[in-house]
């Protein structure tokens, strides 16, 4: 037996991977970032998840990026753009930019990137991002035109700007190779990637944007929130994402740690499935429920105050918000009166299921439980049905969750278009609401090039949505990050983490 | 012996094939991954196009036939998430898992067995009670909780070990202890009861009567005869450690097979789940076979024909 044990021990040592490279070995400043999951692939044209985008945006760049305010863009690989006719947007590209392998960046790379995503055989998850682009024209190496079938208010290519890859390199090496060996125009280049362990990048000395203050960036994924917090407290990492409320005190009370927060563009709501039979098809019931729910109390007690009450599905930090559209203030008397008027005095005869995902959004299940508790105050028998996200999301897509279901939505463009088209039109992929008037107005707004007129259209839509109440409008989150005290990091509403905008002291 | 080996290998092959079929069916009846993978604003047409490109719109039996055909050639398909060969991803993570499970197994064998023997030789003393209380905790406390407590105490409070990640031996200490705790407790209890059974046997009295030292009596005669169930269980535990590091790997951000499996299940990355299960099933089956062969070495009365 002793011999067996020693043989095993020897085998273990032989198989043990060599000690990983330490980024700090090479000098310069290093920042370690811990998200919950590792990047899936470093091919930037196939996936859509935030933690992955946070990694690849250090290697690759877009034509333009969302600014801090809605409708504002920061030029990156494009220096300017203009509408040459209602269906054509022309971009002037930045000159003298090279990929990290030395290849020059030209319009051919933009055309290739868009067309790669559009090619159905690649099964890219980004197809909705280039849906409006019908074709790409490249009149010269530094000009590219996106042509759409119908006019769209947001220029085609800017609803959700895509990353641009090196066409020549991508074609030569293939997507699988590129997935492990990124070559982009961005501020960093990959040094080493050990899956699920760490991904180390070094500054790209040839970057057109100048030298970032951080020389080396390490992405070190840690799936468990508690373990992420422990890693931050021990100094093993400088920045952690998705901090649950129960750890706030540990982080603010830590000697070398602090919280960083910002108002998110992600709102949480509970929608009525108005396509399925039930009391939720009655507008008065929907209004009554909106009066019965006390959103400020939920924000205070369930989110520890880390949220912002909303009055409309179009939030104040989105284009299309109008402060004059009223919301529902918590009012039990009004709720009871409306229920009586609808034929359900004291809520008798209404029993509702609130469907909710587990662990997809911060406090998702707890919020649904709070809402159902508040509904009981007006006599409505409400129960929560929590479900695991994968099966939940496919049921949302099939419109199979009824009568109530909770969902979150983050619109990085901060424009009402995404919310209204996806969530309130009859053909919207996640809509359980159908109103021909809203459909018509949404289409109009989508193609309206005059900003003031477009804003007025969204005000009309918001007013109808208030009256019709197809949702229980809840709140926008406050996103919380834990960071080391030496790190200067300004969080963004779209959940993007950018080492090239950070510094350390 | 050769005939026996042949029979066992044949049986093992069928066990692995059976596992492959069960996993395939269970995965596919939970729905296809298109709805989860595509971004929320996708239209039904966009989701359908994705589904078609991935082949998920084909009847289940057709999907299985094509899976079986390529699996027979050693090709488990490409990961939906990573877009790389799925089996390659699983094998890439195997060294980290073997390193962790191997160290945990050393703890199990080198702590669990001696503690069990001592506990049996000194029943109802403080040694026995301490060992039994620790065994009770090990068997009843969830791995997840033990892992977090070890992190809080040894990483955050005392700063002796890193909280997570892979690296040198210090990174290994906490996850190996966490992973090995449950099995150590189990082996300790098993060793204790197996030893207690043989301690009263006639041959033990004879050995003592011959004037042998206490150590030789208890180890040479006692443990030698209590070995069989312990070795069987050690074999099973090694298999469990290799395939059951899912929670430990997740808590300690250990880049092994278990963590790959969890992520793949969450994201419905079918080819990866299938590869991981097949890989661990194979390891388990092979280990069992090795344990059975060890019997003959440990107990010359057992012969395979």
The tens digit of pLDDT for each residue in A170-183 reads 999 999 899 999 99
Q: Which of B258, B109, B248 is nearest to B191 (CA)?
A: B109
Q: pLDDT of A332-367, one tens digit each? A: 999 999 999 999 998 888 889 999 998 788 889 999
Q: Judge: B102–A9 Cβ closer than 8 Å, yes or no.
A: yes
pLDDT score at A26: 61
Predicted pLDDT at B304: 65
pLDDT surpassing 50 at residue A17: no
Asked if the model's pLDDT at residue A13 lies above 50, the reply is no
Residue pLDDT, tens place only, B128-173: 899 889 889 888 999 899 999 999 999 988 989 998 888 888 999 9
Cα separations in angstroms, A428 against A37, A127, A412: 30, 16, 18
Determine the pLDDT at residue A21: 45
Residues A156 and A129: their CA atoms lie apart, in Å, by: 9
Q: Which residue from A17, A194, A226 is facing B148, i.e. has the nearest CB?
A: A226
Residue whose pair of structure tokens reads 């993570």 in the numeric block: B93
B110 at interface of A, judged by CB pairs closer than 8 A:
yes
Q: Rounded mean pLDDT of A142-169?
A: 93
Size of the A and B interface in Cβ pairs below 8 Å: 177
Confidence of residue A18 (pLDDT cuts 50, 70, 90): very low
Average pLDDT of the residues in A403-413: 90
* A16 contact B CB<8A: yes
- Please report, rounded to a whole number, the percentage of residues in chain A having pLDDT higher than 70: 94
Would you call B263 an interface residue with chain A, using a CB distance cutoff of 8 Å? yes
Find the helix or strand (DSSP H, E) in which A336 lies: helix A332-342
Note whether B152 contacts A230, CB cutoff 8 Å: yes
Chain A touched by B50 (CB under 8 Å):
yes
Please name the member of B83, B92, B253 whose beta carbon is closest to the beta carbon of A41. Answer: B83
Band of pLDDT at residue A483, cut at 50, 70 and 90: very high
Q: Would you say A155 and A89 are in contact if contact means Cβ atoms under 8 Å apart?
A: yes
Say if the Cβ atoms of A48 and B103 lie within 8 Å: no
CB-CB neighbors (< 8 A) of B96 in chain A: 17, 197
List Cα–Cα distances, A340 to A117, A262, A328, A375, A471, in angstroms. Answer: 53, 42, 18, 15, 20
Tokens representing B107?
């703890």
> Which tens digits make up the pLDDT trace of A236-273?
999 999 888 888 888 998 889 999 999 999 999 999 99
**A residues 123-162 closer than 8 Å to B (CB):** 123, 125-129, 131
Summary mean pLDDT of chain A: 90
DSSP A26: G
Residue B49: per-residue pLDDT? 86
Residue numbers in B near A236 (CB within 8 A): 162-165
* B154 has a chain A CB within 8 A of its CB: no
Q: pLDDT tens digits for B111-132?
A: 999 999 989 888 888 988 998 8
- State how far the Cα of B47 lies from the Cα of B37, in Å rounded to an integer: 9
Residues B222-280: pLDDT tens digits? 888 888 889 888 988 998 898 768 899 999 999 999 999 988 888 788 899 999 998 98
């Amino acid at each position: 037996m002793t011999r067996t044990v020693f043989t095993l021990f020897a085998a273990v040592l032989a198989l043990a991977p060599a000690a990983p490279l330490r980024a700090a070995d090479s000098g310069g400043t290093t920042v370690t970032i811990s998200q919950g999951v590792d990047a899936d692939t470093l091919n930037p044209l196939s996936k859509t998840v935030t933690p992955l985008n946070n990694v690849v945006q250090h290697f690759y760049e877009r034509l333009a990026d969302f600014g801090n305010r809605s409708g504002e863009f920061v030029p990156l690989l494009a220096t300017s753009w203009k509408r040459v006719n209602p269906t054509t947007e022309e971009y002037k590209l930045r000159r003298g930019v090279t990929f990290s392998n030395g290849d020059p960046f030209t319009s051919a790379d933009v055309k290739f990137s868009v067309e790669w995503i559009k090619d159905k055989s690649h099964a890219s998850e980004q197809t909705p991002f280039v849906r409006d682009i019908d074709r790409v024209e490249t009149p010269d190496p530094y000009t590219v035109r996106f042509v759409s079938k119908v006019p769209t208010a947001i220029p085609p290519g800017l609803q959700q700007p895509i990353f641009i890859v090196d066409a020549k390199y991508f074609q030569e090496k293939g997507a699988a190779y590129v997935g492990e060996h990124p070559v982009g125009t961005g501020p960093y280049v990959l040094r080493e990637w050990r899956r699920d362990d760490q991904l180390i990048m070094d500054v790209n000395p040839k970057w057109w944007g100048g030298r970032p203050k951080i020389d080396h960036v390490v992405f070190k994924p840690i799936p468990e929130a508690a373990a992420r917090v422990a890693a931050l407290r021990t100094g093993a990492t400088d920045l952690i994402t998705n901090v649950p409320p129960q750890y706030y005190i540990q982080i603010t009370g830590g000697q070398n740690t602090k919280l960083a927060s910002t108002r998110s563009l992600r709102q949480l709501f509970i929608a009525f499935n108005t396509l399925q039979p039930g009391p939720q098809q009655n507008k008065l019931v929907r209004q009554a429920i909106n009066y019965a729910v006390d959103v400020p109390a939920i924000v205070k007690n369930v989110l520890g105050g880390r949220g912002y009450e909303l009055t409309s599905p179009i939030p104040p930090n989105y284009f299309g918000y109008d402060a004059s559209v009223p919301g529902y203030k918590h009012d039990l008397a009004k709720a009871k009166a409306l229920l009586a008027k609808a034929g359900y005095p004291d809520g008798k005869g209404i029993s509702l299921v609130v469907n909710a995902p587990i662990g997809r959004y911060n406090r998702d299940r707890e919020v649904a439980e709070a809402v159902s508790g508040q509904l009981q105050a007006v006599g409505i028998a409400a129960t929560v049905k929590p479900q695991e996200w994968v099966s939940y999301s496919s049921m949302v897509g099939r419109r199979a969750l009824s009568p109530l279901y909770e969902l979150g939505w983050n619109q990085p463009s901060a424009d009402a278009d995404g919310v209204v088209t996806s969530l309130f039109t009859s053909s919207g992929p996640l809509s359980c609401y159908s109103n021909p008037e809203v459909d018509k107005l949404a289409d109009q707004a989508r193609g309206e090039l005059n900003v003031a007129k477009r804003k007025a259209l969204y005000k009309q839509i918001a007013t109808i949505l208030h009256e019709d109440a197809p949702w229980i409008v809840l709140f926008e989150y406050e996103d919380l990050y834990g960071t080391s005290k030496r790190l200067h990091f300004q969080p963004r509403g779209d959940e993007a983490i950018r080492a090239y905008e950070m510094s350390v002291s | 012996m050769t005939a026996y080996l042949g029979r066992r290998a044949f049986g093992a092959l069928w066990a692995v094939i059976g596992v492959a079929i069960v996993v395939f069916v269970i995965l596919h009846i939970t729905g296809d991954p298109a709805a989860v993978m595509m971004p929320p604003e996708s239209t039904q047409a966009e989701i359908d196009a994705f589904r078609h490109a991935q082949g998920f719109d084909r009847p289940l039996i057709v999907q299985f036939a094509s899976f079986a055909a390529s699996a027979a050639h050693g090709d488990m398909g490409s990961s939906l998430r990573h877009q790389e060969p799925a089996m390659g991803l699983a094998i890439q993570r195997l060294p980290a898992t073997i390193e962790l499970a191997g160290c945990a197994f050393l703890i199990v064998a080198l702590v669990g067995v001696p503690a069990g023997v001592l506990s049996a030789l000194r029943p109802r003393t403080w040694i026995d009670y301490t060992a039994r209380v620790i065994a009770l905790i090990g068997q009843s406390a969830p791995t997840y909780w033990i892992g977090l407590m070890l992190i809080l105490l040894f990483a955050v409070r005392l700063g002796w070990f890193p909280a997570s990640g892979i690296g040198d031996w210090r990174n290994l200490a906490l996850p190996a202890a966490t992973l090995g705790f449950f099995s150590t407790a189990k082996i300790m209890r098993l060793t204790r009861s197996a030893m207690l059974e043989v301690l009263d046997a006639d041959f033990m009295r004879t050995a003592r009567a011959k004037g042998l030292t206490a150590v030789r009596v208890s180890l040479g005669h006692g443990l030698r005869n209590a070995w069989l169930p312990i070795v069987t269980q050690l074999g099973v535990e090694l298999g469990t450690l290799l395939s059951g590091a899912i929670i430990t790997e997740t808590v300690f951000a250990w880049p092994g097979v278990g963590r790959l499996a969890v992520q793949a299940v969450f994201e419905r990355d079918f080819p990866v789940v299938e590869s991981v299960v097949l890989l661990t099933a194979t390891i388990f089956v092979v280990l069992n076979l090795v344990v059975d062969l060890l019997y003959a070495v440990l107990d010359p009365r057992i012969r395979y024909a």
